Amino acid sequence: MSKAPKKKTVKPTELQNELLIYLNGEFVPKSEAKVSVFDHGLLYGDGVFEGIRSYNCLVFKLKEHLERLFESAHTIMLTIPYNQEEMTEIILETLRVNKLRDAYIRVVVTRGEGDLGLDPRKCKKATVFVIADSIVLYPEKLYRNGMGIITVPTVRNLPEAVNPQVKSLNYLNNIMAKIEANNSGYMEALMLNPQGYVAECTGDNIFMVKERILSTPPAHVGALKGITRQAIIDLARRNDVPVQERMLTRHDLFNADEMFLTGTAAEVIPVVSLDGRQIGNAKPGRVTAKLRSAFADLTKRDGARYSI
Ligand code: PMP
């Protein structure tokens, strides 16, 4: 593999206490992992990324994440200078050199360094970096008791503009929604699409349960095809929980028996209130609990294995 990462670019002392970042072909200590201020990822959000988890030396759904990364890049006509096999090796090696069994992995590919204009043709080489670290999105208490969320005015990106299927570095739309939720004292926001249908949250997909039927909006309303979302759909089917992908309104959600969010970082988190309306009996529901535990089991056996 010609483009495999170089390993020994750091001194042993640095190896012991500093996170090693994969950056453009080599591993560098976090404090030295720098990209140019002319990088179009920074200047314009011109790039794509993935957030991936490893659980006890198993990288969950790595193939699916890489497929989505390459599809996002293809749509924005960004050439990733590695194939999927090489990217797999880079990610596994990043985990190995950092001796991480459980990690949150961020894979970023930007258009690279250009000039101050927009023209991507000026960017001769994509920037690629991989960070493996930890992430805690929500406090443990919220997983036990459920969280409250709020609908915000900022709507999800139009599929005719930057399609929400593209996991691009341009997350301002979602960040604005997050700010609006935070300003109202909530940690997460429900985003509608421009027609007023439920799309998703700022970094998570949304599910509801009504009369034991699980429903989630179809991706075409403006939701990302979440890898966790798909895992939950598959697990529900295997556990005899009927699943529907259908258009949902806030009214549908208000009157649901249960609600939860899914995402790589958040995993499966129960929601017990929306816009001040109590959902079900305001406690995490039984279907949610069943799927949460099935998901936890899945992360123990499904994934790309590595050893440290
Ligand atoms: N929607 C958005 C907007 C996201 O950024 C993410 C990922 N954080 C998700 C949904 C969940 O997707 P996944 O399960 O693949 O992490």
Which amino acid makes up residue 71? E
Residue-level pLDDT at 137: 82
CB atoms within 10 A of CB 4: 12
Residue-level pLDDT at 136: 85
Q: Who contacts 100 (Cβ-Cβ below 8 Å, separation ≥6)?
A: 54, 132, 308
Cα separation, 125 vs 12, in Å, equals 30
Label residues 116-125 b or e (16+ Cβ within 10 Å = b).
Answer: eeeeeeebee
- Mean pLDDT value of segment 194-221: 98
Residue-level pLDDT at 2: 44
Residue-level pLDDT at 6: 57
Sign of the CA dihedral running 178, 184, 189, 190: negative
Residue-level pLDDT at 16: 57
Per CATH, the architecture of 140-298 is what? Alpha-Beta Barrel (3.20)
State the distance from the centre of ligand 1 to the C-alpha of 104, rounded, in angstroms. Answer: 13
Report whether pLDDT(9) > 80.
no
Closest ligand 1 atom, residue 228 Cα: 14
Give the active site residue among 7, 34, 167, 210. Answer: 167
Cα separation, 272 vs 284, in Å, equals 7
pTM here is: 0.94
Cα separation, 16 vs 13, in Å, equals 5
Closest ligand 1 atom, residue 202 Cα: 3
Ligand 1 probe mutation, 50, 205, 225, 232, most atoms within 8 A of CB: 205
Q: Which fold has domain 6-135?
A: D-amino Acid Aminotransferase; Chain A, domain 1 (3.30.470)
Cα separation, 285 vs 207, in Å, equals 12
Among 14-23, 27-36, 225-234, which stretch is predicted with the lowest mean pLDDT?
14-23
Residue-level pLDDT at 8: 43
Ligand 1 probe mutation, 264, 268, 295, 299, most atoms within 8 A of CB: 264
Residue boundaries of the structural domains of the chain: 6-135, 140-298
Strand ranges in 111-203 using DSSP code E only, listed in sequence order:
127-133, 147-151, 189-192, 198-201
Residue-level pLDDT at 5: 60
Residues near ligand 1 with C-beta < 6 Å?
A: 51, 174, 200, 203-205, 224, 226-229, 262-264
pLDDT per position as a tens digit, 31-54: 999 999 999 999 999 999 999 999
Is residue 7 annotated as part of the catalytic site, yes or no?
Answer: no
- Mean pLDDT value of segment 239-253: 98
Mean pLDDT of the chain: 95
Task: Decide: helix, strand or coil at residue 269.
Answer: strand
